[in-house]
Each structure stands twice: as C-alpha cells, then as structure tokens.
Chain A
Amino acid sequence: MYTTELEDKNKKPAPREVLVAEDPAKLVAFEARVAADEFIEPKDWMPAAYRKTLVRQMSQHAHSEIVGMLPEGNWITRAPSLRRKAVLLAKVQDEGGHGLYLYAAAETLGTSREEMIEALHSGRAKYSTIFNYPTLTWADIGAIGWLVDGAAILNQVPLQRTSYGPYARAMVKICKEESFHQRQGFEIMTVLAGGSPEQRRMAQDALDRWWWPSLMMFGPPDDNSPNTAQSIRWRIKRETNDELRQKFVDVTVPQADAIGLKVPDPKLAWNEARGSYDFGPVDWEEFYAVVRGEGLVAKDRMKARVAAWEDGAWVREAATAHAAKHVVKAAAE
C-alpha cells in the first residue's frame, strides 16, 4: 500500500527532459527490458530518475508500515479478548516485518536505512496519510484491517509484477500476509455490526470516519498525479490511482452491505452500464492538508517515532560497541 505519490500537487512532474542526460543507447535498452516485463536487478543499469522514484516510493512504503504500527499498537493493550489480542499482535508484528523487507529492498538502491529514517524524522520523506487519523474505538481496528489493508491489497497485488526485482519480491511476501489482515479486520467489523447497539454505533462510526481517507490512500486523481505516467511507463506502477480506487469501491461496498453498515456517500449508486459503482467526490483539500502534516495526530505520530529512535539510541550504540569488541577479541585470538 501507501505507494501513491504524496508530493505537493503543484510540483511539476519529472519531465522527460531530465532523461536527456542519460546515455540514449542505455536508456533505450532499459526501456525495452521494462516493456518486455523483465525485472531490473540492483546491479543493472537504470536511469537516475528511476532509481530516485523507487527509493522515494519504497521508503515511503516502508515508513508507512512502521508508522502504521502506532494506530493499531494503540489498541493491543486494550484488545477485548485474548484471541483478539493475539491476532492484533501478530498483525502488527507482520507490519513491522513488512517495513524490514521494504527497507532492505530499498537499500539495494544505495540508500541506507538510517538515511531513510532520518528523512522520515526530518519530515522530508512522507508516509501514508491514512495513519494521521486517530484510532478512537475498537471498531477502528476492524476498519483499518478491512479498509486500509483492503486498499493495501489492491495497491500491492499489481506491485508483485513491478519492474524492480527486489521490490516485486518483497511484495510477493507481503501480499501473502495482507489478506489475513483484511480478513481479521472484516471479522471484527462483522461481530460489532451484529452486536449490541453500542457496538453497532462504534462500527458505523468507524466506517464513517475511515471511508474517505481510505479512498484517498490511492492518491490524487490521475489528472492531478504528477508522476503516474512515467511510473506506469517504467512499470513501477501498473494501474492508475483512479482505476485502483474504483476497484476498491466495487469490492468494498457489497461487503458493507453484507454486514448492514452504510457507506457514508449519498452519491454512491450502482451504474449498470459501467458495471461499477459511481461515487461522490473525494475532498482533495483534506488530502493535501494531511500530506502537509495537518492530520489530527500527525504530530503525535512523528513525536512517537522520533522518541522511540532517540530513546533507543543508547541501545543501538551498545549493540554496535559490543559487536566491535568481539571483532577485536576474535582478531586477537
């Protein structure tokens, strides 16, 4: 998930002209390989703009996995049954694992994990806007699994065939786990929607709050998405934001119907001719505000991440110091 461009909408798309600086023969060969659906590997030649886009996209994805541990981690200690606690712990642990795979895959492009983390903490790197919304009730844990992981699946399944080999392979591992995440979320929502009036209220309220931010996860509309064309050409991306968003709506609306929850969109209607749902306009002003860091809990999220990193510095230093002593000891023996 979380692979949409989170650039400012006024930023100009990477122009074809930047490619002029590249060796034309190499560029032609590269684009032919990509067009033939070959995987590009770390040692292969690639245009600088391709490398840059990938580092941005993969690190953004990794950061999203890590920041995404916070809203769900917020409920592990309050999970309402032993089974729910175990499932949520396992899920959040998976998300941390996804972060690890993705940082490792991004490192093959020559940027270290520390550099990427530094970029996150300084605000230069982005993460998915969805995690800047608060988890207020237990139903939010259901909504995140159902909607956010559901959106992630749609986003990530095509990325298993993305052109950069290490990224594609990381996605194959990750996709296997995401469907379990989506199912556990939907199961939580199903139980709440069929529960007491208070539980039903929590479930509907969670859907009301998470629906639109989930649609925003696919990124700005295609005509306002600066890097989409180039990313599709390079098979970094395989479907456009609007195509994926439509798929999400089509898959999710019947699920909401099935458990008796109402999608908070008065314009939502089945379009027989298109064989798809029509839906109302997304509030893109809100999206860009959240991208700029104005989400309700954006500051809390970064504060928590920075604190974990800074408070843990002495632990990482100790591990490094200990390892170094042992290298010295081993050499002396």
Chain B
Amino acid sequence: MDRALSDYAMRLGDDSLILGQRLSEWCGHAPMLELDLSLANIGLDLVGQATHFLMLAGDADRLAFHRDVLDFKNCLLVEQPNGDFAQTIARQFLFSNWQELQLRELSGSANETLASIAAKAVKEVSYHARFANEWVVRLGDGTDESRARMVQALEWMWRFGDELFDVDAQLDPLIAERIAVDPRELRAEWEARVTKTLAQATLDVPVPRRGARGGRMGHHSEHLGHLLATMQFLPRAYPGTVW
C-alpha cells in the first residue's frame, strides 16, 4: 500500500492507541466507580479505533507491539501521563474536542476505509468530548481545590495543543487528494469549543505559548518509551508466539 496513506493511518491509530493505553492505567483506581466505568469505556473505544486504523496501515498487532519510539507517530498530547484526575481530563478535553472534528471531516474522506472507520468512531468520540467538557466544568466551577488543580492541569497540557493542527510534507499530498483532513481548517472551531467550555467552567483560556512538537516525526517526550516498555513486554519477551 501507498506509504503516505499507511503513515497517515498510523498517526490516527497511534493517537487512539496511546491514549487508550493511558486511560486503561486508571482501571480500578478512579475517584469513583462511575468514573472507572467511563474511563474504561473511553479507553475501549480508543483501542477499537486504533485497531481499525492500524489494520489499514498493515499488521495491527505487529505495528502496536513491535515498533519503537522513533516509529510511533502519535501527537505528544496523548502520551502525557495521567497525573491526577484533572490532568487526565485536561488531556481528554483538548484531544477529544479535536478528534471529534477531525473524524467528522474524515468521514467524508476519499478513502472509503478511512471514511467508514471515522464515521463509526465519531459517534464514540462525541461522547468522549461531552464527558471531558462536563468534567472541565465541574472541576473548574467546583471547589477551590478542584479549580486550582484544573488550572494547573490545563497549564501542563496547553503547549501540546498546537501540534494537533500541524501540516507537514507527508500530509500535503493526502490533503490535496482529499484523503486526509486539513487540520488547519479545524482550528477555529476547536478554539471556539474549548473557549466556550472554559467559560462555562469560569476558567480563563491559558495564555498562548510556544507549542511543543515532534510526535508526528517520532520525536517524543520521555514518557512514551516507558509506556511502550509496559505495553509491548509480552510480544517482545516471547517473539514469534501467538496470544
């Protein structure tokens, strides 16, 4: 298959996979049982999407379990650690609001497989975005402590937002062919959504800062290597086995 298309499918798949992996770390440790269920449910949706996207890119398990950091193409945002619940929510808030727009557009892709994966996933992700938005409002407009934690969490995550809208030489031809979404066209709507929810949460929009970038090219934060070490342990330790 066309290298550019498979790279694109990997970007999409890796975003979902890495965030799904992160969310699954919460299992059994969430602040209340209802949140255990929601986080597991979102994680499950994301792992499902990742499987479909990576199947388009090649052998999904091979890609998930046998690539190293330099070959992962997820954005830096999704690999950020869970931190406290506010940090998990801040990450989900920035990502799901973007992913929903991205999938909505992708469901009109000239590539039928991408379009059909996106059409199914966008329904799941609109729930993820709603969940994150509601929690941003609850925590922002909750107690003094929750507000302070939410502010701090947004401070941590904010610099990873810009990367979501980057376009590079690999993406250009796919955008021209209407296979890939042009993320620049999503920015205004994303900002409007994020700003609206922050207002409901009685929170200020964090001041702009220099965006952190590199994930799409395999230049990640230190966190990804540890995540992969955990996730890939079994297939790596017992090569050539079926599970």
- Please list the residues of chain A having a beta carbon within 8 angstroms of any beta carbon in chain B: 66, 69-70, 73, 76-86, 89-90, 92-93, 96-97, 99-100, 103, 138, 188, 191-192, 195-196, 198-199, 304, 307-309, 311-319, 321-322, 325
CA distance A93 to B42 in the complex (A): 11
0/1 per residue, B19-62, Cβ < 8 Å to A?
A: 01100110111111111110011011001101100100000110
Instruction: Let me know if A196 and B47 touch, CB within 8 A.
Output: no
Partner of B31, one of A83, A195, A312, A322: A312
Instruction: Let me know if B40 and A191 touch, CB within 8 A.
Output: no
CA distance A102 to B240 in the complex (A): 43
Q: Could you list 30 examples of A-B contacts with CB < 8 Å?
A: A77-B231, A80-B234, A80-B235, A81-B61, A86-B44, A86-B48, A89-B40, A89-B44, A90-B44, A92-B28, A93-B44, A99-B33, A100-B37, A103-B33, A195-B242, A196-B241, A198-B238, A304-B28, A304-B29, A308-B29, A312-B30, A314-B143, A315-B35, A315-B139, A316-B31, A317-B142, A318-B138, A318-B139, A319-B138, A322-B142
Instruction: Let me know if B31 and A311 touch, CB within 8 A.
Output: yes
CA distance A314 to B87 in the complex (A): 14
Q: A-side binding surface: helix, strand, loop or mixed?
A: helix
Instruction: Let me know if A89 and B33 touch, CB within 8 A.
Output: no
Instruction: Let me know if B51 and A82 touch, CB within 8 A.
Output: yes
B234 proximity list for chain A (CB < 8 A): 78-80, 138
B54 proximity list for chain A (CB < 8 A): 82
A316 proximity list for chain B (CB < 8 A): 31-32
Taking the closest CB of chain A, its distance from the CB of B147, in whole angstroms, is: 8
Q: A77-B21, A89-B44, A96-B36 are in contact. Are A315 and B85 (CB under 8 A)?
A: yes
B85 proximity list for chain A (CB < 8 A): 312, 315
Instruction: Let me know if A82 and B60 touch, CB within 8 A.
Output: yes
| Nearest A residue (CB) for B31 | A312
Taking the closest CB of chain A, its distance from the CB of B198, in whole angstroms, is: 15
Taking the closest CB of chain B, its distance from the CB of A43, in whole angstroms, is: 26
| Nearest A residue (CB) for B23 | A89
Most buried by A among B21, B33, B146, B238: B33
CA distance A196 to B36 in the complex (A): 35
B32 proximity list for chain A (CB < 8 A): 312, 315-316
Q: Tell me if B137 is interfacial: C-beta within 8 Å of chain A.
A: yes
B230 proximity list for chain A (CB < 8 A): 77-78
CA distance A188 to B241 in the complex (A): 13
B50 proximity list for chain A (CB < 8 A): 82
Q: Tell me if B141 is interfacial: C-beta within 8 Å of chain A.
A: yes
Taking the closest CB of chain B, its distance from the CB of A232, in whole angstroms, is: 31
Taking the closest CB of chain A, its distance from the CB of B83, in whole angstroms, is: 11
B240 proximity list for chain A (CB < 8 A): 196
B30 proximity list for chain A (CB < 8 A): 308, 312
* Sample of 16 more A-B contacts, CB < 8 Å, known A321-B146, A322-B142: A69-B36, A70-B28, A76-B24, A77-B24, A81-B235, A81-B243, A85-B20, A97-B37, A100-B33, A195-B242, A198-B241, A311-B31, A312-B85, A315-B31, A315-B32, A322-B137
Instruction: Let me know if A73 and B27 touch, CB within 8 A.
Output: yes
Taking the closest CB of chain A, its distance from the CB of B77, in whole angstroms, is: 19
A318 proximity list for chain B (CB < 8 A): 138-139, 142-143, 145-146
**Which chain B residues in 86-141 approach chain A with CB under 8 Å?**
137-139, 141
CA distance A183 to B231 in the complex (A): 24
Instruction: Let me know if A80 and B65 touch, CB within 8 A.
Output: yes
A188 proximity list for chain B (CB < 8 A): 243
Instruction: Let me know if A96 and B37 touch, CB within 8 A.
Output: yes
B44 proximity list for chain A (CB < 8 A): 86, 89-90, 93
Partner of B142, one of A84, A92, A319: A319
Instruction: Let me know if B51 and A83 touch, CB within 8 A.
Output: yes
